[in-house]
Amino acid sequence: TVEKVLCDGKYALPLGADSFRSLVITDGSGELTVNGITLKRRKGSSIFIPAQAGHAELKGELEAILTRV
């Protein structure tokens, strides 16, 4: 499944125990926080979020593609 993410401030990423998530930032910049760990991300960044990662949130002004299998 592929989903376009539009973050205009804050966006809670839908995670689950069933599959990993792959996030690619296609425009803009911001921060990704997963289980209290924050990473700065910008256009062109990609990150792998393992299954059962818990809570994830984007902050900033960005567009991304979120994929799960």
Q: What is the mean pLDDT of residues 2-26?
A: 93
The Cα–Cα gap between 57 and 13 comes to 6
Cβ count near 36 (within 10 Å):
7
What is the band of 17 on the pLDDT scale with cuts at 50, 70, 90? confident
Query: How does pLDDT run across 35-55, given as a tens digit for each residue?
Result: 899 999 999 999 999 988 888
pTM: 0.89
The Cα–Cα gap between 39 and 17 comes to 22
Reply yes or no on whether the pLDDT at 15 is more than 90: no
Which candidate, 33, 26, 21, places its Cα nearest to that of 58? 33
